[in-house]
Amino acid sequence: MIYLDHNASTPVRPEVADAMNTALRDLGANPSSAHREGQRVRAALERAREQVARFVHADASEVIFVSGGTEGDHLALMGAAWAQRERGMRVAYAAIEHHAVHGAADVLHELGWSHAELPCEPTGITLPAAIDALPQGTTVVSLMLANNETGVLQPVAALTERAHARGMLVHCDAVQAAGKVPVDFAALGVDFLVLSGHKFGGPKGAAALIARKGAPLSPLMRGSGHERGRRGGTENVAGIVGLGLAAELAGVSLAAESTRLLALRERFERGLRLVSPDAHVHGERSPRLPNTVNASFPGARSDSLLMALDARGVMVSAGAACASGAVEPSPVLRAMAVPHELAISALRFSFGRETTQAQLDEALAIIAEALQVARRVTAAGAPA
């Protein structure tokens, strides 16, 4: 089995699994309890908070633990919009944002907010000038750091500068970037930033929203003052312990790992072109994550390719999956003005810690075979 779907989720590091196992066994009390056992659990939580803060160059007091990227995006966008509702009821986000941001904007829309989309260039990049076109009364703009499908990195610092000049707060979805490229909360200048453990060796279900000190934020879930009153609910202690350790380990290996992944990516892209000279790599000339390749193979539909690859032991993703699990053309590629025929034949390959050159070479041979089969099936199945 060759797993090339690390952007969807990457395996938990063994050290992280051990730490979580220990936490599950040993940290039985509630971190909010005043007694010594509670304090012991609380200490583990705060250690993780510091690990996460160091990982993204933030202050520990700015770290809010949440259940995942989706919750982090909802809390940032909705919480900041709600806190500023007297200033205006408009939000904005890049067209290529993750479903989680679109979902939060949908909820705001139902509550009376209007929203605007920042267009994306065919390069996959959202240009800072797009900020200038946003209507007055926009209070929050959501901008991802690295696109989950193409890996294209966004000029978030420049976008943020323009947004701040117009009095807007900026939320940055860094879920896909964290652990693959350096993420510096302070240098980006954003007001909110979200990262998720299972994208860099931590567990699913543990994530963090970084909220700049003093940034207006209304909590969505209110309880008894957890997370400084910003997110109610007893903390997922074992998950958070895992998240913290994963952040620390990812920070340590980041430089070497991203160099290694970039070399793999370049070799893999050359290989793809040999296998399929008409392959089209999306965002090819843009700065991208070192582990992500999104390519279209004309004449071979994504779902056929996925099935052929899966049967041959290569695990990849295609576009976005709908509620049923079926593959749909990606809204990200549509926003990049990728023609429909190419959009329905796109695959995302994403590498991780365990990916080796030998694996990728083997994968390329399998891709060559799968392409032949998928092209035959696609041609035979074309509707009248």
Q: Which residues belong to the active site? A: 322
Number of residues lying near other proteins (CB under 8 A): 23
Examine residue 376 and tell whether it contacts other proteins (CB under 8 A): yes
Contact pattern for other proteins over residues 319 through 338, marking x by CB under 8 A: ---xxxxxxx----------
The stretch near other proteins (CB under 8 A) out of 70-78, 110-118, 220-228, 306-314 is 306-314
Measured from the CB atom, the residue of 107 and 373 that comes closer to other proteins is 373
Whether residue 193 contacts residue 183, with contact meaning beta carbons closer than 8 Å, is answered with yes
Residues between 36 and 75 with contacts to other proteins, criterion CB under 8 A: none
Whether residue 178 contacts residue 202, with contact meaning beta carbons closer than 8 Å, is answered with no
Residues 307, 320, 366, 368: which binds other proteins (CB under 8 A)? 307
Looking only at the bridges linking them, the beta strands covering 169-173 and 192-196 are: parallel
| SS3 state at 306 | helix
Whether residue 124 contacts residue 336, with contact meaning beta carbons closer than 8 Å, is answered with yes
Report, in Å, the least distance between residue 334 CB and other proteins.
Answer: 16
213: exposed, middle or buried (Cβ count in 10 Å: 0-12, 13-18, 19+) = exposed
Report, in Å, the least distance between residue 379 CB and other proteins.
Answer: 9
Measured from the CB atom, the residue of 240 and 327 that comes closer to other proteins is 327
Examine residue 303 and tell whether it contacts other proteins (CB under 8 A): yes
Residues 308, 336, 363, 364: which binds other proteins (CB under 8 A)? 308
Measured from the CB atom, the residue of 322 and 358 that comes closer to other proteins is 322
Measured from the CB atom, the residue of 241 and 306 that comes closer to other proteins is 306
Examine residue 1 and tell whether it contacts other proteins (CB under 8 A): no
Report, in Å, the least distance between residue 44 CB and other proteins.
Answer: 35
Examine residue 373 and tell whether it contacts other proteins (CB under 8 A): yes
Report, in Å, the least distance between residue 383 CB and other proteins.
Answer: 4
Measured from the CB atom, the residue of 255 and 311 that comes closer to other proteins is 311
Whether residue 208 contacts residue 198, with contact meaning beta carbons closer than 8 Å, is answered with no
Whether residue 340 contacts residue 329, with contact meaning beta carbons closer than 8 Å, is answered with yes
CA distance 105 to 113: 8
Examine residue 374 and tell whether it contacts other proteins (CB under 8 A): yes
Q: How far is CA 351 from CA 51, 129, 205, 361, in A?
A: 24, 33, 21, 13
CA triplet 184, 188, 193: central angle to 5 degrees?
A: 75
Query: SS3 breakdown of the chain: % helix, strand, coil, rounded to 5?
Result: 45, 15, 40
CA triplet 183, 186, 191: central angle to 5 degrees?
A: 95
Contact pattern for other proteins over residues 353 through 372, marking x by CB under 8 A: -----------------x--
Report, in Å, the least distance between residue 377 CB and other proteins.
Answer: 5
The stretch near other proteins (CB under 8 A) out of 14-22, 116-124, 145-153, 304-312 is 304-312
Report, in Å, the least distance between residue 68 CB and other proteins.
Answer: 21
Report, in Å, the least distance between residue 328 CB and other proteins.
Answer: 7
Measured from the CB atom, the residue of 52 and 370 that comes closer to other proteins is 370
Count other C-beta atoms under 10 Å from residue 165's C-beta: 10
Measured from the CB atom, the residue of 184 and 310 that comes closer to other proteins is 310
The answer to whether the Cα torsion of 290, 292, 296, 300 is positive or negative is positive
Whether residue 5 contacts residue 359, with contact meaning beta carbons closer than 8 Å, is answered with no
Examine residue 107 and tell whether it contacts other proteins (CB under 8 A): no
The maximal CA–CA distance of the chain, rounded, in angstroms, is 72
The stretch near other proteins (CB under 8 A) out of 17-25, 118-126, 345-353, 373-381 is 373-381
Examine residue 106 and tell whether it contacts other proteins (CB under 8 A): no
49 CB contacts (<8 Å, ≥6 apart)?
A: 60, 63, 65, 244
Closest CA to 347 of 323, 363, 361, 324: 363
Report, in Å, the least distance between residue 363 CB and other proteins.
Answer: 17
Place of tokens 């904007």: 105
* Site of interaction with other proteins (CB under 8 A): 303-304, 306-308, 310-311, 322-328, 370, 373-374, 376-377, 380-381, 383-384
